[in-house]
């Protein structure tokens, strides 16, 4: 599948992977901005702005945006993370000009004051809704504690206070700085003509502004460490998370980290599965590696009935200590790589999966990696590579956060959350 890339005069990066055998095409604008790029006074602004891009443009009302997407049978969506805000859609190939026009149009929103005031209420309700979801609350507390002042610990949603205080002028200024063309990547994958697509991008986006856009604290964050018990009586189960340092997105050790995490905490046939799920000690248990710009992280977690929390805590600590001391076996490595290969290939069969993968790789490393290259990178991981990763990022040197009804855990008194 041929890969193409170009950079418009205003700095917008355009990448694409063409596949004539595909039956659809997916494209997305990746804006290099998220919670980590916000000041305390801007907490939640990136996510709020994501909502506002669907509220209308100088050319389209919010209703027209929705109707135009609907007329071409697309599946538009967006998300905001700590590092990126992404707007994307998938369509039949014949509708590529229309979907490019709509997506490019909403990337230059009106940001009308009346829409801002209305949508702020929606965001505040969303924050309240997430506060009723224990898993989300536990994860957010865990990131904040683990990163201890590093911007990767910033909340994507913000708080009721921070969002309530935001103004339309703040948003307009943030948009002008962060949504500059040279801070955005446009990615496409599937059945499309590259030259035609590049022409569409130039036609729709060449007038966008450029700006001096930076990102601070692109440094690795050491784990805060310790056990932190956060008590909320109304929560029925106990959520326990273990966060250890990991390689950043542009490190070759990321392949060893991803492979190890799967061996330790996949939803079947992993060490945590056999230690907690199979005997019925926990309702869920997993381990995952997340790549970030400058500082990765490995999450292990479990959810269980409160009375089983102490015993499970000891089990997970033992598993992580054994992995740190002895690594993983050749059989575990082979099984993990087989699972990863299957997931990579299945995801690559969809243009949406390739569009996301191509954009992510290019944004973080400036490299294009086709499916065969990624498969080879994972296949090349050895037990020695896993050992090198563990020596650099000890998996048992972690921040542990417990969230739920427990008032005390392992001798540590809880505090309200």
Active site members: 50
* Rounded Cα–Cα distance for residues 347 and 7 (Å): 27
* Rounded Cα–Cα distance for residues 251 and 401 (Å): 27
Instruction: Name the nearest CA neighbour of 145 among 383, 359, 412.
Output: 412
* Rounded Cα–Cα distance for residues 150 and 272 (Å): 29
* Rounded Cα–Cα distance for residues 34 and 79 (Å): 10
Instruction: Name the nearest CA neighbour of 277 among 263, 266, 288, 262.
Output: 266
Q: Which pair of tokens denotes residue 57?
A: 């443009």
What angle do helix axes 254-265 and 309-326 make, rounded to 10 degrees?
140
Q: How many CB atoms lie within 10 A of CB 403?
A: 27
Instruction: Name the nearest CA neighbour of 300 among 255, 266, 251, 274.
Output: 266
Beta-carbon-side half-sphere exposure of residue 220 (alpha carbons within 13 Å) = 16
* Rounded Cα–Cα distance for residues 387 and 260 (Å): 10
Provide the terminal-to-terminal Cα distance of the chain, rounded to the nearest Å. Answer: 50
Alpha-carbon distances, residue 121 vs 35, 101, 124, 158 (angstroms): 20, 29, 5, 14
């Amino acid at each position: 599948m041929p890969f193409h890339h170009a950079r418009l005069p205003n700095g917008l990066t355009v990448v694409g992977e063409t596949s004539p055998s595909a039956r659809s095409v997916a494209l997305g604008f990746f804006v290099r901005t998220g919670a980590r790029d916000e000041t305390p006074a801007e907490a939640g602004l990136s996510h709020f702005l994501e909502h506002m891009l669907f509220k209308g443009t100088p050319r389209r009302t919010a209703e027209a945006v929705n109707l135009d997407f609907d007329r071409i049978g697309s599946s538009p969506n967006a998300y905001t993370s700590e590092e990126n805000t992404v707007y994307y859609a998938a369509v039949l190939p014949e509708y590529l000009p229309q979907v490019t026009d709509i997506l490019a149009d909403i990337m230059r929103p009106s940001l009308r004051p009346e829409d801002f005031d209305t949508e702020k209420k929606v965001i505040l309700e969303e924050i309240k809704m997430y506060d009723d979801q224990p898993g989300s609350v536990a994860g957010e507390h865990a990131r904040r504690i683990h990163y201890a002042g590093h911007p990767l610990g910033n909340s994507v949603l913000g708080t009721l206070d921070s969002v309530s205080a935001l103004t339309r002028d703040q948003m307009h200024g943030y948009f002008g700085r962060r949504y500059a063309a040279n801070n955005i990547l446009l990615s496409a994958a599937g059945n499309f003509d590259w030259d035609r697509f590049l022409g569409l991008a130039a036609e729709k986006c060449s007038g966008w502004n450029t700006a001096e856009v930076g990102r601070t604290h692109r440094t690795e964050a050491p784990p805060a460490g310790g056990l932190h018990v956060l008590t909320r009586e109304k929560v029925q189960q106990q959520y326990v998370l273990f966060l250890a340092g990991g390689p950043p997105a542009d490190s070759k050790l990321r392949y060893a980290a991803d492979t190890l995490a799967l061996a330790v905490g996949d939803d079947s046939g992993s060490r945590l599965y056999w230690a907690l799920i199979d005997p019925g000690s926990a309702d869920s248990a997993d381990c995952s590696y997340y790549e970030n710009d400058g500082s990765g992280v490995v999450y292990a977690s479990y959810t269980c009935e409160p009375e089983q929390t102490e015993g499970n805590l000891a089990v997970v600590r033992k598993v992580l200590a054994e992995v740190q001391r002895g690594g993983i076996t050749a059989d575990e490595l082979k099984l993990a790589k087989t699972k990863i290969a299957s997931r990579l290939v299945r995801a690559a069969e969809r243009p949406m999966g390739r569009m996301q993968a191509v954009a992510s790789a290019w944004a973080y490393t400036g490299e294009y990696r086709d499916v065969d290259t990624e498969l080879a990178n994972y296949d090349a991981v050895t037990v020695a590579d896993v050992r090198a990763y563990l020596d650099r990022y000890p998996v048992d040197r972690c921040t542990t956060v417990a969230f739920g009804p427990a008032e005390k855990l392992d001798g540590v008194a809880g505090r309200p959350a």
